Amino acid sequence: MAEITPEQLQTWLNHSRKYAAAGEVASYIPELRHAPRDALGITLIGCDGRSITAGDCSVPFTLQSISKVFTLLLALIDNGEAAVFAKVGMEPSGDDYNSMLKLELVEPGIPFNPLINAGAITITSLIHGPSPAEKTKRIMQFFQEIAGNAPLRINEAVYHSEAETAHRNRSLAYFLKDNAVLGDDIDVEDVLETYFNQCAIEVHCSTLARMALVLANNGVDPHNGRTLIPRRYVQIAKTFMVTCGMYNASGQFAIRAGIAAKSGVSGGILALVPQRWGIGVIGPSLDRKGNSIAGIHLLETMSAALDWSLF
């Protein structure tokens, strides 16, 4: 693991940063709208405890879709594999991340996988807890534990601004309700409240790297040896990250980088190299598919140089 020097990392980052110009910052998130379009930061934390960083790692951002990986893990812990996959499928969809088309065409009418919005909303509905507030609290605690007990907070401004862009998610949720994917006991607005909260959890690159590290280490916290997530569930999550983690550019990222990763429209990317690195990236400028342009470029460059591909 001596292969990455800070100088080399800085060189790669400088090169990838140029690609940010071709994209757009997701304008609906006030905090990130203020972030410079060409911001780019990366933190790697090794299983040996070593940390290495470059670029704009002090920029806070929200988890957005990255949260889906960890609510999936909590839903698996709460309900088991069989109950979860009775409600969501396992197939990549090839479609936009918030497409409704697929919902209609597929029998028996369940979302394709847990990482598209329809699937993630369904997963959130499976989190145990007597109220949206309690569910959000359980999610926060679970995420914090995986993040090495770093204190996490909800970015309230982002939470509230989600409401302005929530029409599509609300539409999806009522569609799921109509198809009984969200059952009789599930209140749509309650689920959405929890879902918007999980998306609005604020992190830094180092938080993502720390969370990814636990996945890279098969669910075990490398600092204290505690098993935080059963290994089989980590395996499930990593598989979805490879097949569906980068929206409908997942196939391309698998060919080019070949590592488990999950992006969010905040420009964050969580990635990992098994047994070696937990990685957090932030680059707010997005491509047409919703992924951080410069962040993708940086990870592809590093994977090629360091032979990280699983394949």
Q: For the window 183-212, what string marks contact with a second copy as x by the rule CB under 8 A?
A: -----x------------------------
Of 23-31, 46-54, 170-178, 278-286, the window that binds a second copy (rule: CB under 8 A) is 170-178
Identified catalytic residue from 195, 262, 266, 281? 195
Instruction: Tell me the C-alpha distance between 75 and 80, whole Å.
Output: 7
| H-run or E-run covering 51 | strand 51-55
Residue 261 burial by CB count (10 A; 0-12/13-18/19+): exposed, middle or buried? buried
Our finding on whether 258 is near a second copy (CB under 8 A) is yes
Our finding on whether 91 is near a second copy (CB under 8 A) is yes
List 170, 193, 230, 306, residue binding a second copy (CB under 8 A): 170
Q: Is 19 a catalytic residue?
A: no
List 137, 138, 177, 223, residue binding a second copy (CB under 8 A): 177
Q: Tell me, what DSSP letter sits at residue 248?
A: G
**Min separation Cβ 311 and a second copy, Å:** 4
Instruction: Tell me the C-alpha distance between 84 and 90, whole Å.
Output: 11
Instruction: Tell me the C-alpha distance between 274 and 47, whole Å.
Output: 9
* Cβ contact 228:220 at 8 Å: yes
Give which of 266, 273, 281 is closest to 303, Cα–Cα: 273
Nearer to a second copy, 155 or 248 (CB): 248
Our finding on whether 248 is near a second copy (CB under 8 A) is yes
List 89, 109, 129, 230, residue binding a second copy (CB under 8 A): 89
Return the residues of window 99-158 that contact a second copy according to CB under 8 A: 99-106, 112-113
Nearer to a second copy, 79 or 243 (CB): 243
**What does the DSSP assignment read for 105-152?**
HSTT---S-TTSHHHHHHHHHTS--SSHHHHHHHHHHHHHHHTTT---
- What distances in angstroms separate CA 198 from CA 63, 64, 249, one per listed residue? 8, 7, 23
Nearer to a second copy, 129 or 274 (CB): 274
For binding to a second copy (CB under 8 A), which residues are involved?
89-95, 99-106, 112-113, 167-168, 170-175, 177-178, 188, 235-236, 238-240, 242-244, 248-252, 254-255, 258, 260, 309-311
